[in-house]
Amino acid sequence: MKYEKTIGLEIHVRIKSETKMFCGCKNAVELASEPNMHVCPVCMGFPGALPALNAEVIRLGVIGGMLMDCEVNTHSRFDRKSYFYPDLPTSFQTTQMYETIVGKGKVRVMVNGELREYEIHHMHLENDAGKLTHAGGKTLCDYNRAGSPLMEIVTEPVFHDKEEVMEFLRELQKMFRAWGVSDADMEKWQLRCDVNISLAPEWSGELGTRVELKNLNSFSAIGRAIDGESHRQERLLLSGKHIEQETRGWDDDRGMSVTQRSKEDAMDYRYFPEPDLLPLDLPEDFIEGCRQSLVELPIDKRLKYLNEYDLKDDDARILTADKDLSDYFEALVSLTNDPKKSCSYITTILLALINEVEEVSSIKDVKFEVKELARVIELVNADELSSTNSKQVVEELVRNGGSADLIIDENNLRQKNDMSALESIVDEVIASCAPQVADYKSGNQNIFWFFVGQCMKASKGQGNPKIFNELLKKKLG
């Protein structure tokens, strides 16, 4: 018997607003140098303190929803989810249980070179809790994060393997970063994920009992958790046991999931409409303003690079991984009109140098103008610069900036195409290499590249290897 796994996700994404969701405290938990720096009576839940909804959170949330092609609800409202825990000073979370800001949508993702679509059930807004640190038998409470805005994205159960989940999360990360909705850095808990997994016999057309794995915050842990939990369920099903509906935690060190709570201990959160906030009615012009900021999505760029520019999917993926890089690539293409060569100079030369040169850590830091790289490509295409020497020019540009033409002239790198000068070099090489010429003529074809190499050396790397090639073929017969 084969089992198919079905996976749904609940994803929490920290919205990158200047201030928290309902107060004026800085929403900068990662930047806070000390605990409890960014707190006030509202996010600390002091009696009588009233929340004031942050318009920027709404704007970024609506854009986040639009990026996932979701319906935006002009009317939504907030509810209180009541529970007591030391990291939640208000004793309730302000969330959207019944009428959410964003409804159904879909996200297009490339998985193994194929375009797929994954449905979103809804997205709602809510605030985060603080952070507890347990040390030396004591618990320390830090409320810098309390009241930070979150989007909770709930997908339909539409994934069947971990690659789909990973690519989907990467696509969200790309879009949210490009539009400044969130930095979505999993290590900083700006994006964390609950994974629901169920197994059912293949082709049964049914969903099995669902088990929820809570709070996964790295791509690799998500992959291991999906594998580990689906193996656990498969073992149970194969031995005739049934799966309990429950919430489990993933213990990454032990490589297994452990029970946290069963369906029977489900909490009663006593949801009720938030009495201190009015329902949220979004004006049409506000929604329209958000929509206007939605230019080409990363997936549309990727499809354009594949279909119009004829790039390989791997290259299209790399170039669209971050907005600065795809902006740079497009600026370069607009100057060179040569997408393939522009892509290869960026992906194979420029990115490798950025990795290598210490002072430069991203495409934003390069010290030269994009037109200089376009000039390098233009000269290579015009046979005035060899591709070998072009790498040296790009390296110099990355290290010290400047102008491509100046670097080429200072280092004598301009390719010589002067036929008669190159011909005399070829003649000299042939005259000085009599034994190799004899060897070649007696049938050793492999030695041909030795002559090309000798000509390049004699021309100090400046001769056009194509012309040497032709002249040598003609003269050696």
Phi, psi for 52 (deg, rounded to 5): -125, 120
Q: Of 24-32, 105-113, 312-320, 461-469, which part binds Zn ion (CB under 5 A)?
A: 24-32
Of the residues 7, 9, 21, 43, which one makes contact with Zn ion according to CB under 5 A: 43
C-alpha–C-alpha distance, residues 150 and 15, integer Å: 5
C-alpha–C-alpha distance, residues 278 and 94, integer Å: 13
Q: How far is the CB of 85 from Zn ion (least distance, A)?
A: 18
Residue 96 and residue 79 in contact, taking contact as beta carbons nearer than 8 Å: yes
Q: How far is the CB of 197 from Zn ion (least distance, A)?
A: 37
Subset of residues 413 to 452 that bind Zn ion, contact rule: CB under 5 A: none
Q: How far is the CB of 26 from Zn ion (least distance, A)?
A: 9
318 to 347: interface string for Zn ion, x by CB under 5 A: ------------------------------
Segments in 53-104 forming alpha helices (H)? 55-67
Of the residues 9, 23, 158, 221, which one makes contact with Zn ion according to CB under 5 A: 23
Q: Of 35-43, 93-101, 269-277, 468-476, which part binds Zn ion (CB under 5 A)?
A: 35-43
Q: How far is the CB of 149 from Zn ion (least distance, A)?
A: 12
- Cβ neighbours, 10 Å, residue 262: 12
Segments in 337-402 forming alpha helices (H)? 339-344, 351-356, 370-381, 387-400
Q: Of 37-45, 313-321, 345-353, 408-416, which part binds Zn ion (CB under 5 A)?
A: 37-45
Return the residue matching tokens 């490589």.
255
C-alpha–C-alpha distance, residues 473 and 419, integer Å: 15
C-alpha–C-alpha distance, residues 471 and 428, integer Å: 12
Q: Which is nearer to Zn ion, 25 or 129 (CB)?
A: 25
Q: Which is nearer to Zn ion, 43 or 216 (CB)?
A: 43
Subset of residues 108 to 147 that bind Zn ion, contact rule: CB under 5 A: none
Q: Of 36-44, 75-83, 443-451, 460-468, which part binds Zn ion (CB under 5 A)?
A: 36-44
Q: Which is nearer to Zn ion, 25 or 429 (CB)?
A: 25
Site size for Zn ion (CB under 5 A): 5
Q: Which is nearer to Zn ion, 19 or 233 (CB)?
A: 19
Of the residues 40, 256, 351, 447, which one makes contact with Zn ion according to CB under 5 A: 40
Distances (CA, A) of 456 to 422, 461, 470: 10, 5, 13
Q: Residues of 151-188 as b/e, b for ≥16 C-beta within 10 angstroms?
A: bbbbbebbbeebebbbbbbbbbbbbbbbbebbebebee
Q: Which is nearer to Zn ion, 40 or 111 (CB)?
A: 40
Of the residues 25, 63, 193, 458, which one makes contact with Zn ion according to CB under 5 A: 25
Q: Which is nearer to Zn ion, 42 or 222 (CB)?
A: 42
282 to 321: interface string for Zn ion, x by CB under 5 A: ----------------------------------------
Q: How far is the CB of 132 from Zn ion (least distance, A)?
A: 18
C-alpha–C-alpha distance, residues 469 and 449, integer Å: 9
Q: How far is the CB of 274 from Zn ion (least distance, A)?
A: 17
Nearest by Cα to 89 from 41, 31, 30: 41
Residue 460 and residue 412 in contact, taking contact as beta carbons nearer than 8 Å: yes
Q: Of 33-41, 184-192, 218-226, 323-331, which part binds Zn ion (CB under 5 A)?
A: 33-41
Q: Of 22-30, 55-63, 101-109, 303-311, which part binds Zn ion (CB under 5 A)?
A: 22-30
Q: What are 134's strand-pairing partners?
A: 139
For residue 420, give both structure tokens: 């008669």
Q: Which is nearer to Zn ion, 29 or 58 (CB)?
A: 29
Q: Which is nearer to Zn ion, 22 or 468 (CB)?
A: 22
C-alpha–C-alpha distance, residues 386 and 173, integer Å: 39
Helix (H) or strand (E) holding 155: strand 149-155
Binding site for Zn ion (CB under 5 A): 23, 25, 40, 42-43
